[in-house]
Amino acid sequence: MISGASLQLRPAVLTDQREIASLIHFSPQVHRHLDWRNPLDWIGSPPYFVIENNRQVIAALGCPPDPPQVAWVRLFVNSGKIPVQNSWQMLWERTRAELAGKGQFMIAAIVLQEWLKDILISSEFASHQSIVMLERIGGSAVSLVLPPEISLRAMMIYDLPAVAEVDASAFEKLWQNSLPALEQAYPQAILATVAETNGKVIGYQISTRNPYGVHLARLAVRPDVQGHGVGCALVADLIQQAELRGLARLTVNTQSDNAISLALYQRLGFHETGERYPVYQFLV
């Protein structure tokens, strides 16, 4: 067992990239946030700390904020050379202190593996909600109906600032996609669409390709036009475009307490897969 005296905790630097990549691939305990950016891309954006033993990185925790005042646990990895609870506690205490020094923050994590849940609870993270997974495989055709003053078109890169405004208006702070996040998302999309009226963007969807079909990664509609069929039209258009490409399986996730979204997806032929992932949060 490695003694605590031989361990060094320090900020991650770009030259750690290769070692952290190796940890991600080979370590027994790895949590990666569902993010548009690779966890390695966040190195250099604090707080992001590593534990080193004899100049070898053996654990890392990255929680860079985005959007402001929201810090997701983007990476936690432990090599197994020290107990996972020990490495978490060392890294978490330093991370919490750094964020606390910058004002009020919400720190959150999506629990994809049970071992992380126990660690978060031990550090007084509280259950917030769950992520619900849904899928649509084939099914009956869907109709695309919109009021005449609203139209759909392919999203262009110059739309992103307006898309970010829609996103900020449609979601609570925890779930907002910042403009930098959307700039990362846009090149990864197989299909991205905006809804507009009088030349103003009022809704959008971004979807990505996976080995099994298409994943609706983001859907947002400005609150003042919700209830007018904009979200339904965006998803119906996505289904039609995916089917034209021979992609019959679509997946999406949403918050367990988002009754409006759940009803929309179910109306369009999506069914819950049974997969649910708890979201835990900590306020500093």
Q: What are phi and psi of 77, to 5 degrees?
A: -140, 140
Give domain limits for the chain. Answer: 4-124, 133-277
The residue written with tokens 């390695």 in the block is 40
- Classified as helix, coil or strand, 210 is strand
Q: What mean pLDDT comes out for the span 72-80?
A: 97
Q: Locate tokens 């849904």: which residue?
A: 134
Q: How confident is the model at residue 138 (pLDDT cuts 50, 70, 90)?
A: confident
What are the structure tokens assigned to 18, written together?
């290769």
Q: Do domains 4-124 and 133-277 have the same CATH topology?
A: yes
Whether the CB-CB separation of 219 and 205 falls below 8 Å is answered with yes
Q: How many Cα neighbours within 13 Å face the side chain of 216?
A: 29
Q: Is the pLDDT of residue 278 over 60?
A: yes
Tokens standing for 136?
């649509």
Average of per-residue pLDDT values in the chain: 94
Answer yes or no: is pLDDT of 163 > 70: yes
CATH number of 4-124: 3.40.630.30
What Å distances lie between residue 48 and 13, 33, 34, 201, CA to CA? 9, 14, 17, 36
The CATH code that applies to domain 133-277 is: 3.40.630.30
**Is residue 139 predicted with pLDDT exceeding 90?**
no
DSSP, res 65? B
Residue 3 has pLDDT above 60, yes or no: no
